[in-house]
Chain A
């Protein structure tokens, strides 16, 4: 994962002393051009890169007049910029075509599977932040100690391990050998009939409905992929936390806080961490966005019926509409989180307010 780049991007955009109106304007321009760029790239991938999208749909043994008709239907005989315009209009209204595989509109499919991915990424980020932040603080406070080295190595392995491989091995251990967790999937078949989700976020639904048996089953399903994604965000979060905390702990206000007689605990967890939290929020948001991406491989391993699995299934079946629709969906959320974290940064840092 190369998330730190994006944080450089966000930080660069933050400039002090700019007026609120200017900031909003910049935000809107950034958002608009980024989304436009996103669509331009997917358009390019879908319409320009393949030799002939029409052939991809009807197959290369189809008679010429059929191919020609499909080309017309797809608007492939129009000039490229007109095609792009049509594509834009459709995309803005949420029309990404129909999935060849499921025969549903791609948008409907995405709406159906996305909550599962969001749920998984959320659990992963919560695990990653709850463990990663304290580990990073510990590493910074005990800089150079064994604890610091261990945290560093945990992080480096997280950066270096193939997630699908770790997923397979952990399934082998925790499911097949130890039987601590449920088999791959999101929910036991038994409950698929007794439990009617409302929002698509199963855990929340089950808790809301007070179905504790279901909650337990859901937990046994989500814990392993969640922990796995959590490990990845932990690697990133702990590393960044350490770096931010080292920076904060070397500031003069920390000396002043000691001169006031505050306890080290209070200085670390209250003063320094509160300052480190300003950039950390961005990091956590970015790691959340990164997990949406990480879910592609994780969901494949854990048969998690989310967007990642949807995309890989569509890939295997050369269902380009679905692949590109899924790409755009992840891209849009990714970009939105990116932009939102920038706003969040502003609200957390009193120096950038107003």
Chain B
């Protein structure tokens, strides 16, 4: 927190991600730009609109065969695309972290939970095993797991989805990153558990003063959780809004997303259908 806290945390200018495929190139992300401070930015859009690929490009987790270009992609003023792979890797988990969608798949099934958390720590800090375990237990407590000792030695399949996602959060936040990318962190969870997990995430992000990119297809969720919202469509940002100004959205696609949200009390017939126009993708 001491150095370089001026200026934006993350600068993204004209980010493009292209996949070569058998039938030609697929542009998953087509010129996304934004800056992020110690704030909460939401990214919404329908499935396949390039949200995850944007997040992964920032993390440096784009599949090897894809091509990434950007005028600027900088974390704390450091150019991410130009830096050596080694340096980039050191950033991951330590300064920028990411929560994936489904803990059922994103935790290593044959490794006890505790060891997976400790592993993050040992990768980035010189620390004794007993000290690492102590910190991991504390982190499990911080994500409101009641019996950390027990959970520490469980395997991922032995815990519920909500519990798994807490473990995921613990694993990613244990080194105290400054930027967290949460890619649909609650989409795979039961509705009742979603709120609990969001609550935990909310607390930790506030307490630790992290920047957050919250990716979701759920506009209402994003707008209630974040300060600002980017609306993506077909790899582009079609609109950027403060959450408070949601009702003033200009772009027809955003309005379409908004119209699809059910509101209590109003009778809606016929049900609105999300409209897509090819020219928005241009």
Alpha-carbon separation in the docked complex, A252 to B102 (Å) = 9
Alpha-carbon separation in the docked complex, A255 to B111 (Å) = 15
Alpha-carbon separation in the docked complex, A278 to B123 (Å) = 25
Q: Which of A256, A263, A274, A350 contacts B100 (CB 8 A)?
A: A256
Alpha-carbon separation in the docked complex, A257 to B100 (Å) = 11
Interface 1/0s, chain A 243-264, versus B by CB < 8 A? 0000000011101111111110
Interface positions, chain B 85-116, Cβ under 8 Å from A, are: 89-94, 97-98, 100-102, 105-111
The prevalent SS among residues of A at the interface is: helix
**Looking at A251, A262, A275, which has the most chain B CB atoms within 10 Å of its CB?**
A262
How many whole Å from B111's CB to the nearest CB in chain A? 7
Residues of A with C-beta under 8 A to B56: 255
How many whole Å from B189's CB to the nearest CB in chain A? 15
Interface positions, chain A 259-292, Cβ under 8 Å from B, are: 259-263, 271, 274-275, 278
Residues of A with C-beta under 8 A to B92: 258-261
Q: Which of B90, B105, B157 contacts A251 (CB 8 A)?
A: B105
Chain A contact residue count (CB 8 A cutoff): 20
How many whole Å from B65's CB to the nearest CB in chain A? 9
Q: Is A68 an interface residue (CB 8 A)?
A: no
Q: Is B19 an interface residue (CB 8 A)?
A: no
Alpha-carbon separation in the docked complex, A258 to B181 (Å) = 14
Residues of B with C-beta under 8 A to A258: 59, 61, 92
Interface positions, chain A 142-179, Cβ under 8 Å from B, are: none
In the complex, the answer to whether B90 meets A261 with C-beta atoms within 8 Å is yes
**Looking at B94, B102, B106, B171, which has the most chain A CB atoms within 10 Å of its CB?**
B106
Alpha-carbon separation in the docked complex, A350 to B155 (Å) = 7
Q: Is B203 an interface residue (CB 8 A)?
A: no
Given the interface contacts A259-B59, A259-B97, A261-B92, does A253 sit within 8 Å of B106 by beta carbon?
yes
How many whole Å from B118's CB to the nearest CB in chain A? 11
In the complex, the answer to whether B120 meets A260 with C-beta atoms within 8 Å is yes
In the complex, the answer to whether A256 meets B119 with C-beta atoms within 8 Å is no
Given the interface contacts A259-B92, A259-B93, does A252 sit within 8 Å of B123 by beta carbon?
no
**Looking at A257, A259, A263, which has the most chain B CB atoms within 10 Å of its CB?**
A259
Interface 1/0s, chain B 116-143, versus A by CB < 8 A? 0001100110000000000000000000
Q: Which of B101, B102, B172 contacts A260 (CB 8 A)?
A: B172
In the complex, the answer to whether A275 meets B119 with C-beta atoms within 8 Å is no
Q: Which of A262, A263, A351 contacts B109 (CB 8 A)?
A: A351
Q: Is A213 an interface residue (CB 8 A)?
A: no
Residues of B with C-beta under 8 A to A274: 108, 110-111
Alpha-carbon separation in the docked complex, A152 to B124 (Å) = 37
Q: Is A52 an interface residue (CB 8 A)?
A: no
Chain A residue nearest to B88 in the complex (CB): A261
Given the interface contacts A261-B124, A350-B155, does A256 sit within 8 Å of B94 by beta carbon?
no
Interface positions, chain B 206-260, Cβ under 8 Å from A, are: none
Q: Is B168 an interface residue (CB 8 A)?
A: yes
Q: Is A349 an interface residue (CB 8 A)?
A: yes
Alpha-carbon separation in the docked complex, A251 to B110 (Å) = 13
Chain B contact residue count (CB 8 A cutoff): 30
In the complex, the answer to whether B108 meets A261 with C-beta atoms within 8 Å is no
In the complex, the answer to whether B120 meets A261 with C-beta atoms within 8 Å is yes
Q: Which of A263, A271, A348, A349 contacts B89 (CB 8 A)?
A: A263
Residues of B with C-beta under 8 A to A271: 108, 111
In the complex, the answer to whether A350 meets B123 with C-beta atoms within 8 Å is no
In the complex, the answer to whether B123 meets A260 with C-beta atoms within 8 Å is yes
**Looking at B56, B59, B94, B110, which has the most chain A CB atoms within 10 Å of its CB?**
B110
In the complex, the answer to whether A275 meets B90 with C-beta atoms within 8 Å is no
Alpha-carbon separation in the docked complex, A255 to B119 (Å) = 15
Alpha-carbon separation in the docked complex, A257 to B168 (Å) = 11
How many whole Å from B114's CB to the nearest CB in chain A? 13
Alpha-carbon separation in the docked complex, A259 to B174 (Å) = 13
In the complex, the answer to whether A261 meets B61 with C-beta atoms within 8 Å is no
Alpha-carbon separation in the docked complex, A274 to B110 (Å) = 7
Alpha-carbon separation in the docked complex, A259 to B101 (Å) = 13
Alpha-carbon separation in the docked complex, A349 to B109 (Å) = 8
In the complex, the answer to whether A253 meets B105 with C-beta atoms within 8 Å is yes
Q: Which of A259, A261, A263, A350 contacts B110 (CB 8 A)?
A: A350
Residues of A with C-beta under 8 A to B61: 255, 258-259
Chain B residues in the interface with A (C-beta under 8 A): 56, 59, 61, 89-94, 97-98, 100-102, 105-111, 119-120, 123-124, 155, 157, 168, 171-172
Chain A residues in the interface with B (C-beta under 8 A): 251-253, 255-263, 271, 274-275, 278, 348-351
In the assembled complex, 19 residue pairs joining A and B whose CB atoms fall closer than 8 Å, in A order, are A252-B105, A252-B106, A255-B100, A256-B98, A256-B171, A258-B92, A259-B61, A260-B97, A261-B89, A261-B90, A261-B92, A262-B123, A271-B111, A275-B108, A348-B110, A349-B110, A350-B157, A351-B155, A351-B157
A-B pairs with the 9 shortest C-beta distances? A261-B93, A261-B92, A252-B105, A260-B93, A259-B98, A252-B106, A350-B155, A256-B106, A253-B108
Known interface pairs A259-B92, A261-B93, A271-B108; 8 further A-B residue pairs with C-beta atoms within 8 A, sorted by A's residue number: A252-B106, A256-B108, A256-B168, A260-B172, A261-B92, A261-B123, A351-B109, A351-B157
